[in-house]
Amino acid sequence: MGQFVDLTSSDGFVAPAWVARPEGTPRGAIVVLQEIFGVNSHIRSVADRYAASGYLAVAPSTFHRVKQGVDLGYTADDMQAGSALKAAVEGLPAPGVLPDIQAAIDYAAQQSGGKVGIVGYCWGGLLTWRSASLLQGLSAAVPYYGGGVTTPGEVARKPQVPVLAHFGERDHWIPLDSAHAFAKAHPEVEVHVYAADHGFNCDQRGSYDEAAANTARERTLAFFAKHLS
């Protein structure tokens, strides 16, 4: 359903993005932001599923500025490699990788002719939260267990668009009390907490929780239907 295309950011940097197109006219577009494992088979399948639901889906490679062609699995070695790549991107001079996400938003809007939402998982959830506050052209944002979202510096951000946030109550990377504090600090954000671990949406991880993933997906699709229609 999808293929890689090259997108050019405002500073001239060119990076690939997986683009999945729906049958018929798109009902809007969704930018899908990767975990720390690259635009791998799981993220491509997530984009494909959004396309199957009628959206143009664009998943940019947010590692491309530090390493090309990243496609990791979920072993301990993959986790270590992905964490190092994330740290390298986070260490880039501002605005870091945000121009590449903006390029994906702009492309999604142009290609779909409709409104654009954004969804991200793990590190991509954090980038989704930042995008909702700092980037242009979005109409809705959905971070899944965004690592770092509940830290003071990130909580201080003010989203410009409606946000739906998913957390797992057994997430050892994001303490439950910090998720509750995030929800209290942002009453405008729709927050849901699931009886699940970090990464519960990913069916390639041991932490996958089918019930939580399905419920979160239903809520996400309803949220996008409301704000992108």
Instruction: Catalogue the active-site residues.
Output: 122, 171, 198
Burial per residue of 147-179, b for 16 or more beta-carbon CB atoms within 10 angstroms, e otherwise? bbbbeeebeeeebebbbbbbbbeebeebeeebb
Structural contact between residues 171 and 146, judged by C-beta atoms closer than 8 angstroms: no
Instruction: List, as own/partner pairs, every contact residues 215-218 make where C-beta atoms lie below 8 angstroms and the sequence separation is at least 24, other chains included.
Output: 216/144, 216/166, 216/192
- The Cα angle at residue 92 between residues 150 and 132, in degrees rounded to 5: 40
- Residue closest to 166 by CA, chosen among 145, 148, 195: 145
Copy the structure tokens of residue 7.
């997108």
User: Are 8 and 33 spatial neighbours (Cβ–Cβ below 8 Å)?
Assistant: no
